[in-house]
Structure 1
């Protein structure tokens, strides 16, 4: 049976134009986890030239219910507005939302076939769904086949006429998947989630720079929080750096950490497990200084104590990281010939070390000031700092950058102290 819908195939591709093959393959894995799968299998076969002859993504989830098929597919085709993939903000459940990621296969293949088995009231049912790139606005399906005697729920998506090669899959897509799912696998560590590629499990710890586990104890009410801190090597794509609040290992809520979006490549996750969150109200009384009628809320003393402790902990972890990256910034500026040319070697020896110290100090206070600049802008910024240091008005350095960046009191004192210690050149 074939079903046609309103929006055109080109219209669908236009709306999903920002998706590439890496993100598309990730969406099929998210769909599997959304279906309560704990194991995703990616199997592919390449020929002698490295071209992919087949690619399957299978999950052991609950399958696609034939009776709900129209609800699964039709809404995507009703209008361009309906086709969007949004990462959830406060929960990791149902990441794929309505499963619109099923349409993104056009980025790497011409055809996709779903073979799915689900459990109905009268037993298992099995069926197939087929979509081609040239007809993304229609799909055909057949649920008349009888399931095998040893049927289990799950879905296998087979892609044909592939436009992706073995090298790209192994060197680009698989590393992307590690960064995409590492935080999620860590979140569900107790469930033993896995992604297996041609029989070998992806090693998500490849993206872990450091991991620490400890407890935060609030003595007044004897509440204990089990903490797992993970510092990631590379970014987590749309997930960003977050707190994950759990009770008995199950996620209750998640939110951005206080050091998220600092533009310093400090990618981290904090997993917090405590019975304290079982009846916690994360959505109400967040800014009212009140206590929820049932359970606790963000205004509670325990929660405020926890976040304060974790904020200080993250700052302590971020500081050496920023120092390391400040040194990298200086090395990059040397290679790009960003520093000014001095008339004499003596003047260079007097001025350049202090200029480097100032750049490092400002970078550690606010890395985003140095992000997104072209070569000319970098030279202008560094030259301005050098000229201010050479003048007898060094307070202007602090005034200038204090107005450009948001600093806490401790950071302001530290930056001001560094500037004051720098005597004018030639004195």
Structure 2
């Protein structure tokens, strides 16, 4: 018998940001962190639709009983609310601090881990039990014989608080958005999440997918790229480049140039090449040793790749933003945002104003975010008045007082306003 060094209520306060679907996702991440390639979720409901049984199985390396303290005792004296962090530059070890194992209290009263792991003496198995009423207490027991012929872990949850409908309508859609990018990243390795034996279809979140080749003309280097635009946000993952070596191992990931733009252009870019087999992702601009003895970010091939990728995703984003801008203008019309035009000659201004707003959204969607109805009216009618005055080119100076513009954005907006004035 062992105890975690904090009260059960304290643990619940620390993990209070978690709901049932987030907690179930953490058990899946635990399996992938243990180098599993298949996670099998099984559940069964009774006649009333309430879950009687929920289980998460993985074929990872199991939980070594010599490491139980680090796996089940991550809390000490602090009761500060936390959220499990996502690794910044790699997709492995998502839940390395172990706190995700205690989130089951959000959807069940009891949890039991049956695990098989390798030891110097061969395969060994053990069982760990916990109750939501005593999250600071766990009961481990090592078994005398291994319970499986391969390593892996099965977590069984009893006395469940969620229904079959909740699993189907909330949990499974959540898992698609949580893991779609990760399953796509590891598709060459055939990573899978099974729900009652059926593979979770992460492709239902794909809005657009395209494969392309980016060669480097100064060398024989070839980069194979898969671009995906997602329908819905990727929760905590955001939009990133994933750099993959010839063995299909992710060696690094980083934000794309459009990650921080204020729109719903959710995307992932997967780049595979043997160029990344011997590559240092440290900032190598001033490190000649990196360039001489290995590839780095200072390599011309890498610089060429990033430049071409930036141009590519910018081109993919423009049509999306223009279509979204047109829908925004339609909503403005329905909400009475536009000024009224008392005569036919003044009505001729409206198409010009609409085109300006659509083009402006296409270039800077962040200008339209977080505006209430009155602010939208003021914003749109201010543009209309400047069109009347013939001083639309001065809008750039005005916009700089509202949001930060870089040199490229300033040039593009100036050209836009001169064109539409």
Task: Compute the TM-score of the two structures, normalised by the length of structure 2.
Answer: 0.94
Residue 212 (structure 1) aligned with residue 213 (structure 2): no
The answer as to whether partners of 2:17 and 2:83 remain within 8 angstroms in 1 is no
> Where does residue 362 of structure 2 map in the other structure?
364
Q: Deviations over 1:325-369 (max 9, x none)?
A: 111211222233322333x15266223222211211221111112
How far the C-alpha of 1:406 sits from its partner, in A, is: 4.6
Question: Is residue 211–residue 229 contact of structure 1 (8 Å, CA) maintained in 2?
Answer: yes
Please state if 1:18 is matched with 2:46.
Answer: no
Deviation at 1:271, TM superposition (A): 1.0
SS in 1 for 2:325: helix
Work out whether 1:393 is the aligned partner of 2:395.
no
Aligned-residue offset at 1:416? 2.5
- Alpha-carbon RMSD across the aligned residues, in angstroms, is 2.0
Contact 2:4 2:72 in 1 (8 A): no
Moved more, 408-417 or 385-394: 408-417
Q: Tell me the SS of whatever aligns to 2:35.
A: coil
CA distance in 2 between counterparts of 1:369 and 1:392 reads 22
Give the match for residue 272 of structure 1.
Answer: 271
> 1:378 deviation in Å?
1.9
User: Is the contact between residue 16 and residue 81 of structure 2 (CA under 8 Å) also seen in structure 1?
Assistant: no
2:351 to 346, 353, 363: 353
Cα distance, 1:422–1:254 mapped onto 2, change above 3 Å:
closer
TM-superposed CA distance for 1:240, in Å, is: 0.6
Gaps of 5+ in 2: none
Give the secondary structure class of the aligned counterpart of 1:420: helix
Structure 2 counterpart SS, 1:127: strand
Q: What is the correspondence of 1:25-424 to structure 2 with a 5 Å cutoff?
A: 25-80=24-79, 84-148=83-147, 151-248=149-246, 249-286=248-285, 288=286, 290=288, 292=290, 293-342=292-341, 344-346=342-344, 349-407=347-405, 411-423=409-421
Cα deviations by residue, 1:250-306 (Å, 9 ceiling, x for unpaired): 1111100111121211111111111212221111325x3756142122122111111
Cα drift, residue 84 of structure 1:
4.5
Q: Tell me if the contact between 2:46 and 2:52 (Cα under 8 Å) persists in the aligned partners.
A: yes
Q: Is the 8 A contact 1:116 1:155 kept in 2?
A: yes
Deviation at 1:19, TM superposition (A): 1.3
Deviations along 1:12-49, one digit per CA (max 9) or x if unpaired, are 11121111111111111000001111110111111222
Summarize the Cα distance change of 1:82–1:331 in structure 2 as closer, same or farther, 3 Å threshold. Answer: closer
Question: How far apart are 1:405 and its partner, in Å?
Answer: 4.1
Question: Are the aligned partners of 2:4 and 2:75 in contact in 1 as well (CA < 8 Å)?
Answer: no
Deviation at 1:308, TM superposition (A): 0.5
CA distance in 1, matches of 2:80, 2:123: 35
Deviations 1:51-108 (A, max 9, x none): 1111111111111111111121123345336964100000011111222111111111
SS of residue paired to 1:357: helix
Could you tell me which runs of 5 or more consecutive residues in structure 1 were left unpaired when the two chains were aligned.
none
Conserved? CA contact 1:39–1:59, under 8 Å = yes
Higher deviation after alignment, 306-315 or 11-20: 11-20
Q: Measure the CA separation in 2 of the matches of 1:395 and 1:68.
A: 66
